[in-house]
């Protein structure tokens, strides 16, 4: 996968680029808006990580607006310094697909970039999600594992749906909070863990092999084979 | 006055054609001068009107009488010729009861033919001209208003009236108006002084308050006269502004104090851990563990910063743009659903009691977070086996959301401080949290024109979040 990182802070950029290369991505880096825009227009990327504050007169939002103006729908993750809450809304309005405030954990960034890059692949609308012997029917809203029906609460259903749509990917707690509950703040108590553990009780406990795995310091992953 | 202000003041003065005399640079003096001028102008208009309606009226009456006479006499001349005219004039003079009529008929060489003037007065030359002249009549000198007519055959006729009475009236009026003018001038001066004094005293109060505040005494407020007039309204507005400024300043002071005290602790801890690891860690796992703990510490610090920024942002009111109609019932369902699992794990019964239809107005995300904070707190402090109740109801102005737990509650002494940033009660010392939760709830409540009230639930603790659903809240 090819990723473009547009970030002027040397330390952050170096850290992100190194981390992404370590997991096997091909990474280009631009340290200002002009170069970033040039690369985004001339090359083809699976996702762009774009800092909001960039030197040289062209800031992140301008870059993003220009990219979108060229009918380029490459997934863009906006990085922004800790600041106004409204920033997120502005970034998403300008055409951003996801938003992450600094400081961030690399695991969080990676999980989001992977999710974005896969979304960019343009999945066709599905009516049924299948992972190993777990089946989730989006139309009848039924869940079966190894042919056995599992009863889920509506929110548990959406949690499982989210995990299954990102199967094989790390999904962080904030991603779940945003994607399943539409909450954009950090609850002090780890409410997500409790919900996931309840889901595990129903989806994994009665069966020999677990599907929902905890990824240390990052989040969860739903996956057929334990790694 | 700061240097900047002084310069601006001078710049403004430069545009004036002439530098005003010192006294007129006072607004009070200018206002009072204006008042006096207005009073004088009114008096002058009144005097002119009075003059016109008395002396002027008499003049106009005299002129009308003379004209009527002239018309009459010219008819006589036409029908009876010279003898007829002489006869008529003599008749008129004999019948003139008031003894104010003046006639003089003169032949071409200006000698008297008939009338009551001894000779043709000097300077009366124009036919149809009006003259006002002193005359000598019956041994008395008096004032007459006459009109001259030239008759065919070289005869001249003078018709007039004695206007001595009018002259006397004019003198009387002039005197009266002079006195009135003096009186007006006196009144204007006194009035001006009163206006100036009133102005001065009010402005002085505002100025005194302003300079007291500039000098650092923020408790000072503009005193009100209690009359509820414009000055009182101005003073009240200024006081409201000062209250707001004081609150903001308090907030800033509180935050900087809190940052100094409360963020220093985790920063010190993170630093110590890193330094300790750098100096003493023997193995790589030990080093990793220390670094990870330090990262966790730093994450906590940035979470605190984020919370502080968010509260500051909410208090600044900049999130009002995100306001809209919202379904509070749905929002509460979501929050309760989110925390139900945690509560259940602690054997705490979390229940929601709200009407099916509970509309609200505001920022969905913020209200969500505020309610989540209250529920989070309640669940955190609820003892196992107890209940946490979320009760919502519509009020005339909006909605009221009450979150009650059966925990230890907050001691009375701490309750008023519970919403202060970083405040943590003794019971909360050993639980995770930043001490910013209730501050945020309060900020959200205020942004929504509502309030946060903390009550004793006997036993336990009840937080009442009132929200206004008025759009102008």
In chain A, residues with a C-beta closer than 8 Å to the C-beta of B313 are 84-86
Interfacial residues of A (vs B; Cβ cutoff 8 Å): 82-86, 89, 101, 103, 105, 155, 181-191, 194-195, 198, 217
List residues bridging with B158 in a β-sheet.
B104, B148
Give the dihedral of Cα atoms B301, B302, B308, B313; nearest 10 deg.
Answer: 170
Mean pLDDT, consecutive 10-residue stretches, chain B (473 aa), reads 49 52 68 80 86 82 86 84 84 80 83 80 77 76 82 83 80 85 84 80 84 84 82 87 84 75 81 88 88 86 81 76 86 91 90 91 89 90 90 90 85 70 61 73 87 83 85 53
CB contact (8 A) between residue A217 and residue B292: yes
Q: What is the ipTM of this complex?
A: 0.83
Residues in chain B: 473
Q: What is the DSSP letter of A22?
A: H
Q: Which residues of A touch B388 (CB under 8 A)?
A: none
Does the distance separating the beta carbons of B376 and A82 come in below 8 Å?
no
Q: Would the CB atoms of A183 and B318 count as touching at under 8 Å?
A: no
3-class SS string, A100-118: EEECCCHHHHHHHHHHHHH
A217–chain B nearest CA distance, Å: 10
Q: Which residues contact B337 (CB under 8 A, 6 or more apart)?
A: A155
Q: Residue B319 and residue A184: Cβ atoms within 8 Å?
A: no
Which of B302, B323, B332, B338 is the best substitution to test chain A (most A C-beta atoms within 10 A)? Answer: B338
CA distance B287 to B274: 9
* Cis peptide bond N-terminal to A103, omega within 30: yes
For residue B436, the chain A residue with the least C-alpha distance is A188
CA-to-CA distance for A199 and A221, rounded, in angstroms? 13
Instruction: Tell me which residues of chain B have a C-beta less than 8 Å from any C-beta of chain A.
Output: 292, 295, 298-299, 302-303, 305-306, 309-310, 313, 318-319, 321-322, 334, 337-339, 341-342, 345, 365, 368-369, 372-373, 376, 379-380, 432-434, 437
pLDDT tens-place values along chain A, 227 residues long: 899 999 999 999 999 999 999 999 999 999 999 999 999 999 999 999 999 888 878 888 899 999 999 988 899 999 988 556 667 778 888 888 998 888 888 999 999 999 998 876 656 678 889 998 999 999 999 999 998 999 999 889 999 999 999 988 999 999 999 899 888 887 777 889 999 999 999 999 999 889 999 998 889 999 887 54
Name B327's Cβ contacts closer than 8 Å, sequence gap at least 6: B358, B359, B360
Residues in contact with A116: Cβ distance below 8 Å, sequence separation at least 6, in sequence order:
A47, A75, A76, A77, A97, A98
Which residues lie below 8 Å from residue A20, measured CB to CB, with a gap of 6+? Answer: A3, A5, A27, A110, A113
When CB atoms are compared, the residue of A84, A103, A183 closest to B302 is A103
pLDDT value at position A18? 94
DSSP one-letter code for A57: S
| CA A140 remoteness from chain centre | 27
By the 8 A CB rule, do B349 and B343 touch? yes
β-strand partners of B135: B142
Please enumerate in sequence order all residues whose Cβ is within 8 A of that of A187, keeping only pairs 6 or more positions apart, or say none: A177, B338, B372, B376
So what's the pLDDT on residue B3? 47
Q: How far is A117 from chain B (nearest CA, A)?
A: 27
B36: tokens are: 């006096």
Contact between chains at B318 and A86 (C-beta distance less than 8 A):
yes
CA distance A216 to chain B (A): 12
Q: Which long-range contacts (CB under 8 A, 24 or more apart) does A38-41 make?
A: A39/A4, A39/A6, A40/A4, A40/A6, A40/A67, A40/A72, A40/A74, A41/A67, A41/A70, A41/A72
Return d(Cα B54, Cα B174) in angstroms, integer. 12
H or E element in which residue A29 lies: strand A26-30
Residues of B in contact with A85 (CB under 8 A): 310, 313, 319, 365
- Beta-carbon contacts below 8 Å between A and B: 68
Query: What is the pLDDT at residue B473?
Result: 42
pTM of the model: 0.63
Query: Residue B1: what pLDDT?
Result: 44
């Amino acid at each position: 996968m090819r990723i473009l990182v547009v970030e002027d802070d040397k330390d952050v950029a170096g850290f992100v680029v190194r981390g992404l290369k370590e997991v096997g991505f091909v990474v280009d880096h631009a340290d200002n808006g002009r170069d970033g825009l040039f690369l985004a227009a001339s090359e083809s990327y699976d996702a762009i990580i774009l800092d909001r504050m960039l030197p040289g007169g062209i800031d992140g939002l301008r870059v993003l607006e220009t990219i979108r103006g060229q009918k380029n729908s490459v997934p863009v993750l906006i990085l922004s310094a800790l600041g106004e809450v409204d920033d997120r809304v502005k970034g998403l309005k300008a055409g951003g697909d996801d938003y992450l405030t600094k400081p961030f954990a690399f695991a969080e960034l990676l999980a989001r970039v992977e999710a974005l890059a896969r979304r960019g692949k343009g999945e066709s609308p599905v009516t049924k999600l299948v992972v190993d012997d777990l089946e989730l029917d989006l139309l009848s809203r039924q869940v079966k594992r190894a042919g056995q029906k599992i009863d889920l609460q509506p929110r548990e259903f959406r949690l499982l749906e989210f995990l299954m749509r990102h199967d094989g990917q790390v999904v962080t707690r904030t991603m779940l909070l945003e994607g399943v509950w539409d909450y954009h703040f950090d609850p002090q108590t780890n409410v997500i863990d409790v919900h996931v553990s309840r889901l595990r009780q129903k989806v994994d406990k009665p069966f020999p092999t677990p599907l929902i795995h905890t990824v240390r310091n990052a989040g969860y992953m739903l996956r057929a084979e334990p790694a | 006055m700061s240097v900047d202000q002084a310069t601006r003041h001078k710049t403004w003065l430069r545009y004036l054609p002439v530098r005003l005399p010192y006294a007129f640079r006072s607004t009070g003096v200018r206002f009072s001068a204006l008042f006096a001028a207005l009073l004088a102008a009114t008096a002058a208009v009144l005097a002119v009107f009075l003059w016109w309606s008395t002396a002027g009226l008499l003049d106009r009456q005299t002129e009308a009488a003379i004209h009527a006479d002239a018309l009459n006499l010219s008819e006589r001349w036409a029908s009876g010729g010279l003898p007829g005219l002489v006869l008529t004039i003599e008749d008129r003079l004999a019948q003139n009861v008031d003894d104010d009529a003046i006639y003089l008929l003169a032949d071409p060489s200006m000698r008297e033919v008939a009338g009551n003037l001894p000779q043709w007065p000097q300077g009366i030359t124009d036919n149809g001209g009006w003259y006002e002249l002193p005359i000598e009549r019956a041994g008395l000198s008096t004032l007459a208003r006459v009109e001259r007519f030239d008759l065919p055959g070289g005869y001249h006729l003078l018709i007039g009236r004695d206007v001595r009475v009018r002259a006397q009236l004019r003198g009387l009026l002039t005197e009266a108006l002079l006195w009135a003018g003096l009186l007006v001038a006196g009144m204007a001066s006194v009035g001006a002084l009163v206006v100036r004094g009133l102005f001065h005293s009010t402005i002085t109060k505002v100025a005194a308050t302003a300079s007291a505040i500039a000098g650092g005494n923020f408790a000072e407020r503009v005193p009100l006269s209690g009359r509820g007039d414009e000055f009182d309204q101005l003073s009240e507005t200024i006081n409201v502004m000062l209250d707001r400024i004081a609150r903001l300043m308090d907030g800033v002071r509180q935050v900087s104090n809190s940052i100094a005290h409360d963020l220093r602790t985790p920063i010190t801890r993170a630093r110590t851990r890193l330094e300790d690891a750098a100096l003493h860690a023997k193995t790589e796992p030990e080093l990793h563990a220390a670094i990870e703990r330090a990262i966790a510490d730093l994450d906590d610090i940035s979470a605190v910063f984020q919370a502080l920024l968010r509260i500051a942002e909410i208090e600044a009111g900049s999130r009002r743009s995100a306001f809209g109609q919202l379904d509070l019932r749905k929002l509460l369902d979501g929050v309760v659903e989110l925390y139900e699992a945690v509560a259940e794990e602690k054997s705490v019964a979390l229940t929601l009691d709200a009407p099916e239809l509970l509309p609200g107005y505001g920022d969905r995300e913020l209200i969500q977070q505020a309610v989540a904070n209250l529920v989070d707190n309640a669940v955190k402090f609820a003892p196992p086996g107890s209940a946490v109740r979320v009760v919502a109801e519509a009020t005339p102005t909006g909605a009221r959301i009450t979150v009650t737990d059966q925990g230890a509650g907050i001691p009375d002494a701490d309750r008023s401080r519970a919403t202060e940033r970083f405040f943590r009660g003794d019971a909360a010392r050993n639980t995770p949290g930043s001490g910013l939760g209730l501050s945020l709830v309060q900020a959200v409540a205020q942004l929504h024109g509502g309030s946060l009230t903390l009550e004793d639930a006997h036993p336990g603790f009840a937080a009442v979040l009132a929200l206004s659903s008025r759009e102008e809240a």
